[in-house]
Every structure is written in structure tokens, then in C-alpha cells.
Amino acid sequence: MPNPFRSFLQKRRIRPRSQTALVALEHGAIPWLLGVAVATTLPHAEHLPWWLSLFSAALLLGRGWLWKSNSRLPARWLLALLVIVGTTGIGWQYRTLFGRDAGVALLVFFMALKPMEMHARRDGLVVIMLGFFLLLTHYFHSQSIPTGLWLLAVATLLTAALIRLHGGAQPVREIVRYAAWLIAQAVPFMLVFFLLFPRVQGPLWGLPQDAHAGLTGLSDRMSPGSLNSLIQSGEIAFRAQFATPLPDRSRLYWRGPVFDTYDGQTWRASPLSASRSANKPATVEYSGTAIADYTITLEPHNQRWLMALELPISLPEGSALWPAFETLAREPVRYRTRYAFRSALDHVANREESPRMLQQALRLPAGFNPRARELAGEWRNTLNDPEQISAAALRYFREEKFFYTLQPPLLGQNAVDEFLFDTRRGFCEHYSSAYVVLMRAAGIPSRVVTGYQGGETNPVDGFLTVRQSDAHAWAEIWLDGKGWVRVDPTAAVAPSRIERGIGAALPAGDPLPALVRIDTDWLLQLQRLRYRWEAVNNAWNQWILGYNPQRQREVLSRLGMEDPGWRSMASAMAIFSGMCLLLVTIWTLARRTRVSPEQQAWQRFCRGLERFGIRRAPWEGPFDLAERVARERPDLAQLARDAAGHFAELRYGMGQPRQLLALKECTRQLASHRRIKV
């Protein structure tokens, strides 16, 4: 009995779904796809568990061996088992299958496993699309210039693999050149979208909790040794650009967290110091003689405090000055932030202070450091003036045999006593902590301030660079009529730390980043290279990564958009994108090569052959193609030879107009042959 549905499909020249054959994946395209898998997953090896990196590498190497030996792919049950094993291992490693790190691990694993089941062209397309998606995940760990260049190269490779997948065998150089040309054509559109697409504050991938892991900086507490590892780091904490003359290095105190609670070992901030309702507001009295205007580009540290010169008198939007004169943002700084400050270098801070705050600044834990208490008591009995007591403590540090070092001996329960009278070796946190304990024992309100001191001017771009190695701790005492006054006990022991930086204050054997301690010619050469590289990085950070909503409004205002809202930006984006498309189209049409009638007829015949699974290679001549058709499809041999002969006569010989008609007739016969076979 005839099947009416099949008859309908035959009339419409549509094949049933069950009979639709997938286009087979060419053997020569597989190395391109394996290269894509390696290039998109390799940078993640630094962040993935070692077993997953080895597992993925083994899968890709195994697939390469199967390709070279032309062996069969693994059975589906084995692939399903590998999926279960890999997914279970990732879930066990991260205790979840969600979040940034676990999600990236799954993507890398699937990218390594997918080539094991590549049979058809569409499988190769899946690998390429997954590769494009994996490119975005590299920015989770690094947004540097080298990362951007690597991803641009890999995007070119992905495009080249796509060309090879659909364009057949071609010279490698031609494929790469064509891919690079396609990427270059996208650059104008990229610039338009970068400038005009409405910016989102913060990274889009900042939602998962683990997206901010690994951020370093000052801590919310201080104990002996807590600043040690930070000082040994050469990483950049922030950069400052001054609109006014740069102050002397000795005045560059960048204020961070303030600690007023001590338990004998660790300093912390008390809840009282963070209570704005229980304290007098932070009041800064200043004269107009020493004012600094500057812009800070702060690296993410996952805390709320913003670095500012002591003391800020003008705050950025979205921040507040707390009772202990800490500048706090509304949210933790989890991405690079740029903000402007104005600070008064000569000031009086809280000439009148709340009794509760002063009482908190006098508390000491009972039973700790009896020798320090006794020494402070002697000063209190003989010196009635708080400033004289402070001077006596600084004189004690200066005249006794104290040493500034990043390798102090370990301290016990009475840490301040052991430091003051036994070891006498330490760095800024030891001196500031001991000084504050002495002042409190003498009845003078005092507290510890942490932050950064100094900085290094980059001669290439003029920015002041402050590194983690510039981390510092100092003290404040409250004096009647003068408010909170900064005292830096470290300056009494190692004045070169304040005047020239930590590299000049430490002995030769102490660990520091190499470029912090410049003492040889080759290090000077490296320093000059570093200046240039950091200037380039800073420009990248300021104008590319730091292109936030505020910076976008500034740029668009300079370009003539007085009030750049999302509607005006969307309209401008559409207009400029259309202009770019028009220019590219005009340029393409101008370079277009005119196609002769015989070439058009021959191309239609070749497209007809593609329906039979025969794709002409760009280098393949008409007679070579006809011979290959004869080998692969003998039923089409004579038709292909006739078409090739007509085209060769028309193109290269003395062809007649009737031969053009005969070539077109071959194409019609090819289509008729197709209908008969269906």
C-alpha cells in the first residue's frame, strides 16, 4: 500500500528525519578541534585540582592517538561511565557542582571529553561553541594584558577551526589569514559596543560567593607577625594620581583600619569605634596651607575601607568617615575601584572626644605585661605631661638597642614585655603595639592605626604606586586641646623606613621582593622595565578594566552627549553600528571580484554535488574533481566529466555559447538524479 506521507515528502524533495544523514566529520578537521580544546583549557590548569588536569590531558592525548592511528572511538557506555566518574570527582572536590570554580571545572572536563564522541560535523561545532564560552571563564582569574592577548589568539584559532570545519581542506596559512581578517572586521563593532553599551557596576561574575576568594590586603585584626607576609609581597595595593604637588614621602600615611581593643595578643576594632550614634562625629579642623587633591585606583581587597591620606576632608560618593577616621564604603571592595579624595595634611582630629571612646582607648587586659606597666608607671610618676611621656617612650626605642627586622623571634604570652626587654627585634606592628600598651599603662588614650606608608612614583606615567610591601602600622594618642595626634614609633628606630622605604630600613638578609631592594645595575634595568610595564598595565586598568559607569559618563560627555542615558546610548550604538556595517559592506563590494557566467554555472554544479556528500576543495581543478566523483559516486561519473569538460572549454579554451547551456543542463540533470534517488 503506498505511503501518502512519503509521497508528499518526495514531491517536496524533503527526506524523512530518520533518513537524514549527518555530515561526517572530516579526518583532517580533528587536529583543529583538539587544538581548540587544548588552547581553551590549558590556562585553567593552574587553578584546577591536579587530578582533573591530568584526567583532561589524558583524554585529549588519547583522542589524538585515536586520530593518528585511525582507530574507533570508545563505546557510549564507557563515555557515560567517564561522565559519572568525572562529575562525581568534581562534586567531591568542591562539595558542590555550582559556583564559579566548580562550574569552570565541569566545563573543562566536558571540553576534554567531548572529542571522544566526535563523529559528525555538528559535534565539532559543539566543541567550537564550548570553546568560545570557555574563553570568558579565563577572566575569572586574570584580566591582565597577557590574558587578553592570549584570548585574542585563541579566538582567532576558534574562528579558523570553524572555517576549516565548513570550508574543507585548505592551506593552514590561508585559514589563519582568513580567520584573522574576520576578527579584524569585528574590531569597529567591538569599539562601538565598548564605548556605548551601558556599563554595569562590578563584574557580571561577581554573584557567586567564591568569586572573590583569594583577595589580599590589610586584615581586620593585628597580632605579632600578621603584617609579615603582606610586607614581603610586591603586589600593588593601589595607585594615586595627584592633582596638587606630591607631598613629601614622610607625610604619605595612607589610613586604613583602626584598632582599639587588645586582649594581650591581638588588636581589633571594638564595636564602640564603629558606632556612629555612640560617639562624636569625626571632625577635622584644618588650614588651607597643606591640601592634597588626588585620585585613588584601589585594587580589590574584599574589605570596606578605602585608603586615604590622613586626614580626608572630602569623600567620594557612597562612602563615610567613621568615628575612628576610617573611610568606609557601603560594600566590600571586590573589584578595582577608582575614587577621588581631598585630604588635609595639617589638621586637628576630634579636639573634643566622647568619654566612652577615650575610656576604650585606655583599656588593657589584666595580668599581661607587668614589666611594661611598671616602666609606664615610672614615667607617669616622674613626668606629668602626656607629650613628655610619649617623648620618653620614643627616646627609649631610639636609645636602647632595638632592631628593625622582618624576622623577629617568636613571642610568648607577655608579648610586649618580651619585645621591650628581651628580644628587641621586630617591625612596625611590634613597635606600634608596644608603644600603645605603654601609653595606656601611663594613662594616655591611644590606639593602633594600620595602613600604608610611602609609595613609589612611576616616572613613565606619574602615578604614585603603593605596594603591599608598604604596609605599615603606627599609633595615635589623644591630647587635650590637640585631639588625636599621630605618633610613629618605627621612625624612632628606623627613620629610613619612613624617609626612603622599607628596602632601605631592613638588613640585607631579610626577605623582600627583589625589585623593592635596588642595589645592582641589572636590578636597575629591571626596575626601568617594570616602570614601563606597570604604566601600560595602569593605562589598561584605567581605561579598559576601569571603564565603569562613571568613566563612561565622563567620556561620553566629552564626546558631546550631555546626559548619556541608556536610551541615548542605545540609539547611538545602533547608529554607529549601522555606519560600521555600511562601511564594511561598501569596502567589501569594492573589492569583490566579478564572477563570469561559466563560473556561476560551475559553482551551482559544485553546490549540487555537496548534496551527495562531495565537497570541492579550493585547490581542486574541474578534472580532478570529476575523477574523484567517479571514484566516490560512479553513477555520477559521466555527468561530472561532461560538466568539467564544458567548464574547462569555457574558462580556459575556445568555448561556445552552447557549452554554457550544456553546463547548466548538467546541473539540472544532477538535481533530477537527486530526485530519482530519493
- Give the tens place of pLDDT for each residue, 79-117: 999 999 999 999 999 988 888 889 999 999 999 999 999
Confidence of residue 516 (pLDDT cuts 50, 70, 90): low
Of 18-32, 195-209, 277-291, 579-593, least confident by mean pLDDT is 195-209
How far is it, in rounded angstroms, from Cα 37 to Cα 30?
11
Q: Which of 525, 528, 504 is nearest to 516 (CA)?
A: 504
Give helix 100-113 / helix 50-69 axis angle, nearest 10°.
20
How far is it, in rounded angstroms, from Cα 489 to Cα 495?
9
Residues 111-133 have a mean pLDDT of 92
pLDDT number for residue 226: 76
pLDDT, tens only, 367-425: 899 999 999 999 999 998 999 999 999 999 999 989 888 888 888 889 999 999 999 99
Query: Which position has the higher pLDDT, 674 or 305?
Result: 305
Q: Is the pLDDT score of 497 beyond 60? A: yes
pLDDT, tens only, 29-76: 999 999 999 999 999 998 899 999 999 999 999 999 999 998 899 999
Query: Which position has the higher pLDDT, 499 or 271?
Result: 271
Which three three-digit cell numbers place residue 522? 641589572
pLDDT number for residue 207: 40
pLDDT number for residue 209: 42
pLDDT number for residue 504: 65
Residues 551-571 have a mean pLDDT of 79
Q: Is the pLDDT score of 676 beyond 60? A: no
pLDDT, tens only, 601-653: 888 888 888 888 888 887 788 888 889 888 888 888 888 898 888 888 887 77
- H helix runs in 197-273, sequence order: 228-231
Strand partners, 297: 239, 338
Residues 269-297 have a mean pLDDT of 80
Determine which one of 488, 580, 606, 646 is catalytic. Answer: 488
Determine which one of 101, 301, 417, 428 is catalytic. Answer: 428
pLDDT, tens only, 332-379: 888 888 899 999 999 999 999 888 899 999 999 998 999 999 999 999
pLDDT, tens only, 464-495: 999 888 899 999 999 999 999 999 999 898 88
Peptide bond into 218 cis (omega under 30): no
What contacts 31, CB < 8 A, 6 or more positions away?
A: 64, 67
Q: Name the percent of the chain lying above pLDDT 90.
A: 37
Determine which one of 347, 430, 472, 646 is catalytic. Answer: 472
Of 5-9, 227-231, 487-491, least confident by mean pLDDT is 5-9
pLDDT, tens only, 178-217: 999 999 988 888 888 888 888 766 554 444 444 444 445 7
Which three three-digit cell numbers place residue 571? 540609539
pLDDT number for residue 206: 44
Query: Which position has the higher pLDDT, 130 or 167?
Result: 130
* Catalytic annotation present for 488: yes
Residues 533-562 have a mean pLDDT of 80
How far is it, in rounded angstroms, from Cα 522 to Cα 506?
21
pLDDT number for residue 517: 55
* Catalytic annotation present for 472: yes
* Catalytic annotation present for 428: yes
pLDDT, tens only, 137-188: 888 888 888 888 999 999 999 999 999 988 878 888 889 999 999 999 888 8
Q: Is the pLDDT score of 435 beyond 90? A: yes
Distances 542 to 139, 158, 303, 467 between C-alpha atoms, Å: 17, 29, 21, 17
Contact between 606 and 623 (Cβ < 8 Å): no
How far is it, in rounded angstroms, from Cα 58 to Cα 64?
10
Distances 527 to 231, 514, 532, 614 between C-alpha atoms, Å: 19, 10, 9, 61
- H helix runs in 442-563, sequence order: 489-493, 495-499, 502-505, 521-540, 549-558
